[in-house]
Structure 1
Amino acid sequence: MKFFYKIFLSMLLVLTVSLATIEYLTVSYSLEHALQREENTALSQHQMAKYSIQTVLLGITDDYTTSNMENIAKSAETPLGAQSGLFFASQNSQSGRDETVYYNSCKINPSDRIPATGILEYEIRETEKDRYLQVRSSFTLDTNSFVLVTEKNVKELFQDADTLRRRCEFFYWCILATGSFLVLVITFTLTKPLHRLQGTTRRFAKGEYDVRAEISSRDEIGDLSKTFNYMAKTIESKMEELKDAVRRQEEFTANFAHELKTPMTSIIGYADTLYQKTLSPEEVHQLAGIIMNEGMRLEALSFKLMELVTLSQSNFQLEEARIDEVIADAVETIQPTAEKRNVRVQLQTESAWVRLEYDFFKTLLLNLMDNALKSGTDRINIQGSCEKEQYMISIRDYGRGIPKEDLQKITEAFDMVDKSRSRKEHGAGLGLALAVKIAKLHHTELVYESVAGQGTCVSFMLAKEADDEEEEA
């Protein structure tokens, strides 16, 4: 069952039960209250008639003739009113049955329900058209027992109750009809945002990831719409990331195939030339050099790819190490290459302990230094300094720099700002992509600052394991 019908039927059921209960209680209370009032009045009138008859009978001792007793009963009936009746008779105390009926103006004969001596009874008795409230009692004077019954017509009381019931039924149906319409409007108003949210959800499921739910209230439905919008935004962001990842993967595959194809084509072509033709020693030496260069580029590419795959699939244990010694070791490794390029390496570091994976961290430093050497700079500044609980490492060159539009994508695999120069120097555009992964392994990230024509600075922070004072202690 739909939520709309659940709300509508539930509210309609509550309204119906509430109105029926109110109607029943109203009619019942009204009839009960009116009937109680009539019973009290009838009991009072019965007692007055009884005392009136007893007072007269006390004045006479033996004149219990029928005519005399009838006059006494009529005198006692007069205060009861036109809609009342009276029954008066003598009673045989042994048999319990009346011997003589002196007077009877009751519409319903009460002789079949004579109470015992000293008992007061009352009940409502019905005919086809009327209802009467009869009060019965018996009393004894000297050795004589008498029965007195008073009767009052309460037909109007029940007619008033019926009239009230019909009016309540009329108002019940009017209020129920009006209430049903209002419940329908309220239910539609409450569920309308849900219908809109449902439509938005369906559109989102069909691929419209930019669609958002309309927030028209501050209640739970509004909160649900906000949650949906947050979810949609998150999913849209993830979809964009997936699309970007797919694009990067496609570019990676295309670039990888291209990077393999170019040197392989050169190697095969020049090798075929060596095989097919008779060349001079100088030409053989020249072609062999080209083949060697292309082979070295393939070797560098394979090593870089292997390291990228290894970083993606393994977990590594970080161990404590003296960071200044690790940096000095990397500078010593790169020094011969720097001397060949006539590049001066300036090293300035402070001592500190950090956690790192030695081989990969050295690879990170060597890649950053290698990029600096290839920038056309004449010197490289490498600094390591303590900053409170962290250790900052920066590598600065004064070479060509990186254009602002290329700065955001230099860490992508196979991205090369100057492709011809990179291939000439056996580069494949994997160094910085590898450096980013190694930095992430060490819970840090690379920060690039570059100005075209002025140089580039790469820096990152590592968490220190101990302060200098602790190290000395």
Structure 2
Amino acid sequence: MKFSWKICVSVLAFSLLIVGIGGYALLSALFQSSFQREVKSAADENRMLQYSFAAYWTTTVQDRSSGFPETDVRRAAQAMQEGMSGTELRFQLYNQEGRELYDSGAEEILRDSQREALFSAASGETGARMMVRTGEGFGLATVSTVLMEDGTLLYLETDRDVTALFADRESQYGIYRRWMAGLLLLQGLGCYLIAVWLLRPLGRLSRASRRIAGGNLEVRAKVETGDEIGQLAEDFNHMADNLEKQFKELEDAARRQEDFIGSFAHELKTPLTSMIGYADMLRTREMDEEERFTAANYIFREGKRLEALSFKLLDLMVIRHGVLQKRSVNARWLAEEIQGVLKPALEKAGIALQVLVEEKQILVEPDLMKTVLLNLMDNGRKAMEDGGRMYLLGRTEQQGFSFYVQDTGKGMPEEELSRITEAFYMVDKSRARRQGGAGLGLSICAEIVKKHGGDLSFQSIQGKGTLARVWLPS
């Protein structure tokens, strides 16, 4: 069942329950009020007849020496009936034993057992009444006692037809049910239209989710309201944004993995091909001493390059999964150590180095941080084949400490900057291989800085140089 139908059925069921119970309770209360008025009217009529009989007895029967013979009772009752000839009041008189003494023409609505129960309940000064069903109608019987002067007790019964009262109640119930059916029909139609209108955003949200499931990650739900459904649409769009971002990251990771495998295979294939070729020459050809030395030396150099490559890959894995042993060192001391290591190579390449680093205690793993700065500065040296200037700067900033390595070398295209920390990625592959590089240095640097909780970033302009920044948290 659709959600809109569920809403309609639920609202209709609730309305039917509440309005139905309330309506029937109201009609019942109105009926009870009308019935009580009928009961009061019947009691008033019975009481009036009771007083009237006493008055007619006084004026009709003069001789009381013989007690209250039944003929005198009938005579007084007859006189009272004649005096009420213009009314529709009917009554019956019974003696103390329950035998009928006079009947003014009232319709019998009580059985003998019911009458006896009423006479028993009306003993004394209290009256009694009973509601009875008469065929297809209803009647209200009221009994009161008339106490004569000698203590004789008479029972005065009056009957009142209340069939119309019950008929009105059934008619009101019927009208109410018809009105309820019509109103529920209109309410159901209105509720369905409102539910469809309110749930339109959910339909659009469902269609958007199916399109995303089909591969279109750029789809977004339209936010039209500020209610819970609008909030749901905003949350859905936020989820879609994160999903698209993560999907792109997975695509980038898959691409990097493919590039890594391809580059690694290439890095192995080139030296192995040469090594196999020279080894085959040594195995199958007669060579003089110099040729054998040249072939063996080439095999040795390429083997050492593969060994260095394997060590760098091992270092990369160790850094990624290892635990750093940090300690507090002076940033200027660290810079001076690096300056001492690189000074001969830089002077030989015709590169002037300037070091400006603040006196600041930083929490690092010293050997690994030296590796980072040495790699960055060595890359700068390789980019300045014709000499130039290099700067190593260090200062406190952004709740941490930053090292800057700047060179005046060849620089890099801006689109290459996002990939230079990928394993085996080289901007200028021929120059890198000529200088003994494998494309792993910056990958190792990035992992070391990441392990320190810092950030490694680059800025570069082709023909002017590159600026590398290492930010470390306090």
Out of 131, 138, 146, which is 1:139 matched to? 146
User: 1:85: how far off?
Assistant: 1.4
User: 1:287: how far off?
Assistant: 5.7
Change (3 A) 1:404 1:184: closer
What does 1:372-387 correspond to in 2, within 5 Å?
Answer: 372-376=380-384, 377-387=387-397
Where 1:146 maps in the other structure, the secondary structure is strand
Change (3 A) 1:170 1:462: closer
User: Which consecutive unaligned segments of at least 5 residues does structure 1 have?
Assistant: 465-473
User: 1:3: how far off?
Assistant: 4.2
What does 1:118-133 correspond to in 2, within 5 Å?
Answer: 118-133=125-140
**Greater mean deviation of Cα atoms: 443-452 or 265-274:** 265-274
The residue aligned with 2:98 is: 97
Matches of 1:70 and 1:386 in 2, distance apart? 124
Change (3 A) 1:264 1:359: same
Given that residues 77 and 85 in structure 1 are in contact (C-alpha distance below 8 angstroms), is that contact kept between their aligned partners in structure 2?
no
Change (3 A) 1:328 1:272: farther
The residue aligned with 1:429 is: 439
User: 1:258: how far off?
Assistant: 0.7
Question: Percent of aligned positions with the same letter in both sequences?
Answer: 32
**Greater mean deviation of Cα atoms: 56-65 or 347-356:** 56-65
User: 1:368: how far off?
Assistant: 0.5
Given that residues 455 and 472 in structure 2 are in contact (C-alpha distance below 8 angstroms), is that contact kept between their aligned partners in structure 1?
no
Change (3 A) 1:398 1:231: same
User: 1:219: how far off?
Assistant: 2.7
1:301 aligns with 2:319: no
Change (3 A) 1:297 1:334: farther
Given that residues 400 and 452 in structure 1 are in contact (C-alpha distance below 8 angstroms), is that contact kept between their aligned partners in structure 2?
yes
User: 1:107: how far off?
Assistant: 0.6
Change (3 A) 1:385 1:140: closer
Change (3 A) 1:17 1:266: same
Given that residues 347 and 381 in structure 1 are in contact (C-alpha distance below 8 angstroms), is that contact kept between their aligned partners in structure 2?
yes
User: 1:397: how far off?
Assistant: 1.2
The residue aligned with 1:240 is: 248
User: 1:62: how far off?
Assistant: 3.2
Out of 175, 182, 186, which is 2:183 matched to? 175
Given that residues 390 and 462 in structure 1 are in contact (C-alpha distance below 8 angstroms), is that contact kept between their aligned partners in structure 2?
yes
Matches of 2:348 and 2:471 in 1, distance apart? 30
Change (3 A) 1:159 1:192: same
What does 1:246-395 correspond to in 2, within 5 Å?
Answer: 246-273=254-281, 276=285, 278=287, 281=290, 290-291=298-299, 293-376=301-384, 377-387=387-397, 390-395=400-405
For residues 35-89 of structure 1, the C-alpha deviation after alignment (integer angstroms, 9 at most, x for no partner) is 111122222222222112212323445366356323333056447x32x311134
Change (3 A) 1:47 1:399: same
What does 1:58-69 correspond to in 2, within 5 Å?
Answer: 58-59=58-59, 60-62=61-63, 65-66=71-72, 68-69=75-76
Out of 88, 93, 104, which is 2:93 matched to? 88
The residue aligned with 1:71 is: 78
Where 1:327 maps in the other structure, the secondary structure is helix
Matches of 1:234 and 1:351 in 2, distance apart? 42
What amino acid is the match of 2:259?
E
Where 1:72 maps in the other structure, the secondary structure is helix
Matches of 1:296 and 1:323 in 2, distance apart? 34
User: 1:106: how far off?
Assistant: 1.4
Matches of 1:173 and 1:257 in 2, distance apart? 80
User: 1:421: how far off?
Assistant: 1.0
The residue aligned with 1:470 is: none
Matches of 1:109 and 1:444 in 2, distance apart? 104
State the TM-score, normalizing by the size of structure 2. Answer: 0.87
Where 1:15 maps in the other structure, the secondary structure is helix
Where 1:446 maps in the other structure, the secondary structure is strand
The residue aligned with 2:37 is: 37
What does 1:110-121 correspond to in 2, within 5 Å?
Answer: 112-113=115-116, 114=119, 115-121=122-128
User: 1:104: how far off?
Assistant: 2.8
What amino acid is the match of 1:254?
G
Where 1:208 maps in the other structure, the secondary structure is coil
For residues 124-163 of structure 1, the C-alpha deviation after alignment (integer angstroms, 9 at most, x for no partner) is 2332244322221112121133221222222222222222
Change (3 A) 1:106 1:193: same
Change (3 A) 1:78 1:161: farther
